[in-house]
A and B are shown apart, each in its own frame.
Chain A
Amino acid sequence: MSTATDAPVTAPPAFDVERRWRLHPRVALRPEPFGALAYHYGNRRLTFLRSPDLVALVEHLADQPSARAAFDAAGIEARRWPSFEKALTSLAAGEFIVPDRSEEPS
């Protein structure tokens, strides 16, 4: 038998603004008036992306070498970065976004 409680507990990698991140392949985004609803078909979690800026940022994370560069590319003012970092930290904790392995040297 395999259950979630038997599975080895591996915490998802903590958010690091210097790394390249991408949307988890099993996450779907649905546009909503407040931003978007995100659903993870793997862990069945549901979360809210509470602003259209955050939605655009998350969709284009993988286009930039780091999350910090993605903030810049999305035209987000530096004073708002801490709130976006906080949002991405929580998305990383729920594995909605994951580090993009393609950045790592093989």
Chain B
Amino acid sequence: MTALTDQLAQGLNSPICLTWEWTYACDLQCVHCLSSSGRRDPRELSTDEMKAIVDQLAEMQVFYVNIGGGEPMLRPDFFEIVEYCVERGVGVKFSTNGGRITAENARRLAAMDYVDIQISLDGVDEETNDVIRGEGTHARVRQAMDHLRDAGYPQFKLSVVMTRQNIDQVDAYEALAQEYGAELRLTRFRPSGRGIDTWHELHPTSEQQVHLYHWLLERPHVLTGDSFFHLSALGEPLPGLNLCGAGRVVCLIDPVGDVYACPFVLHDEFQAGSVRDEGGFAAIWRSSELFASLREPSSPGACASCGSFDACGGGCMAAKFFTGLPFDAPDPECVFGHGETALEALEAGGGAVRPSVNADHSKPIGVGRKRIPVTAL
């Protein structure tokens, strides 16, 4: 680690990358959803509570927030809060499934400053995308992209979560992004949310990971949200901070105001408090015991004898936790195969105990939801 990443590991006055999920409501039921979204939670923050958070973020000089969900555009006060963020100098980067990007909304978004849009697509063709995101979603996303282009929205991000089925299409995503003047963003599939059940079949193979690493090295303009830092153990580091930012530079506010160490760990063990507690978000960021402990140097544990620990830091905390591995174990997708060995050892020892999510907001099977059999993928 460099001197700078050492300092970042000890925490910052305010987060760099704050994810804020606005609702658990979603009209889709993607098989890899990190927050198991679907149904709105009746305890979700009110418009006034949301604005009070924005005030506090502005005071803390949080430059921008990454808005997600669920589908944030399903909140009836979506534009009102976006506009409030912008007024207060808090930039908005929001992630959407595109369903509400009508021609009219696209024009409205194009007219706003400080608003960046990230549209999710998980396959360049219908066949690949729709098994992950649901029937008809490929066509719907392409329509949303067309609306943004027609509205003159300057440059959206096309965001793809890398799975075993879609990772071989990276060149096609690049071409598609280029066609729309968009930026391409590829991120790592973590075994979080509904991904706990699907990750084992859907995560990329080790050969695919190595190919992606070299592909990304040649394309530093492709965004990754720093999510593939475990691949830096292969040699030259990928662009980015290359560290687990949980509680250090990253955290999450969920739709009911609970604060977690990162977007991929919606579980009691990583919950630092609630914005509804006294002192709000700032008090949690500055003085939560959980965040203080995450800012301590971590033990290399099983990785101590590996010469690459400094490069990958042992990988992703969430990926270990939700596959049942201890925190000082290798990342389940360790490029040297140590994670696979550790998972096999768990199985041999009677099976991994995999934690479940805190609050599953998935829609019940049969109510507008079809369970996609993983074996069909």
Number of chain B interface residues as a range: 20 to 34
B181 adjacent to A41 (CB under 8 Å):
no
A4 adjacent to B154 (CB under 8 Å):
yes
User: How many residue pairs between the two chains, A and B, have CB atoms under 8 Å in the bound complex?
Assistant: 50
CA distance A32 to B8 in the complex (A): 10
Known contacts A4-B155, A6-B181, A30-B61: does B16 contact A46 (CB below 8 Å)? yes
B12: nearest chain-A partner, CB-CB: A32
Contact with B along A36-60 (1 / 0, CB 8 A): 0101010010101010000000000
B7 adjacent to A3 (CB under 8 Å):
no
Q: Which residues of A contact B91 (CB under 8 A)?
A: 41, 44
B62: nearest chain-A partner, CB-CB: A30
Q: Which residues of A contact B64 (CB under 8 A)?
A: 39, 44
* Interface of chain B, main secondary structure: loop
Interface assignment of A78: CB less than 8 Å from any CB of chain B: no
Q: Which residues of B contact A8 (CB under 8 A)?
A: none
Query: Which one, A3, A30, A37, contacts B154 given CB within 8 A?
Result: A3
B154 adjacent to A41 (CB under 8 Å):
no
Query: Which one, B12, B13, B181, contacts A4 given CB within 8 A?
Result: B181
Interface assignment of A73: CB less than 8 Å from any CB of chain B: no
Interface assignment of A11: CB less than 8 Å from any CB of chain B: no
Q: Which residues of A contact B114 (CB under 8 A)?
A: 41
Q: Which residues of B contact A34 (CB under 8 A)?
A: 4, 7-8
Q: Which residues of A contact B309 (CB under 8 A)?
A: none
A88, chain B: closest CB distance, angstroms:
18
Query: Which one, A3, A33, A37, A41, contacts B16 given CB within 8 A?
Result: A37
Interface assignment of B326: CB less than 8 Å from any CB of chain A: no
Q: Which residues of B contact A83 (CB under 8 A)?
A: none
Q: Which residues of A contact B180 (CB under 8 A)?
A: 3
CA distance A101 to B149 in the complex (A): 35
CA distance A42 to B14 in the complex (A): 21
Number of chain A interface residues as a range: 10 to 19
B63 adjacent to A33 (CB under 8 Å):
no
CA distance A36 to B12 in the complex (A): 10
Interface assignment of B116: CB less than 8 Å from any CB of chain A: yes
CA distance A2 to B154 in the complex (A): 6
CA distance A28 to B89 in the complex (A): 10
Interface assignment of B165: CB less than 8 Å from any CB of chain A: no
B154 adjacent to A33 (CB under 8 Å):
no
A1 adjacent to B61 (CB under 8 Å):
no
Interface assignment of B288: CB less than 8 Å from any CB of chain A: no
CA distance A103 to B10 in the complex (A): 42
Known contacts A33-B13, A34-B4: does B61 contact A28 (CB below 8 Å)? yes
A33 adjacent to B12 (CB under 8 Å):
yes
A3 adjacent to B12 (CB under 8 Å):
no
A9, chain B: closest CB distance, angstroms:
14
Known contacts A4-B154, A39-B64: does B10 contact A33 (CB below 8 Å)? yes
Contact with B along A1-35 (1 / 0, CB 8 A): 11111100000000000000000000010111110
Q: Which residues of A contact B13 (CB under 8 A)?
A: 30-33
Q: In chain B between 176 and 220, which residues have their CB closer than 8 angstroms to a CB of chain A?
A: 178, 180-181
A47, chain B: closest CB distance, angstroms:
11
Query: Which one, B61, B152, B181, contacts A5 given CB within 8 A?
Result: B181
B63 adjacent to A3 (CB under 8 Å):
no
CA distance A33 to B248 in the complex (A): 13
Q: Which residues of A contact B61 (CB under 8 A)?
A: 28, 30
A1 adjacent to B63 (CB under 8 Å):
no
Contact with A along B1-25 (1 / 0, CB 8 A): 0011001101011101000000000
CA distance A46 to B91 in the complex (A): 13
What residues of chain B have their CB less than 8 Å away from a CB belonging to chain A?
A: 3-4, 7-8, 10, 12-14, 16, 61, 63-64, 89, 91, 114, 116, 149-150, 152, 154-155, 178, 180-181
- Having A5-B181, A6-B181, A39-B63, one finds 17 other A-B pairs with CB under 8 Å, namely A1-B150, A2-B154, A3-B180, A3-B181, A4-B155, A5-B178, A28-B63, A33-B10, A33-B12, A33-B13, A37-B16, A39-B64, A41-B91, A44-B64, A44-B91, A46-B16, A46-B63
7 sampled A-B residue pairs with Cβ under 8 A: A1-B150, A1-B152, A4-B181, A6-B181, A30-B63, A41-B114, A50-B3
**The 10 A-B residue pairs with the shortest CB-CB distance in the complex, in nearest-first order:** A3-B181, A39-B63, A30-B61, A34-B7, A4-B155, A5-B181, A32-B12, A32-B13, A1-B152, A3-B155
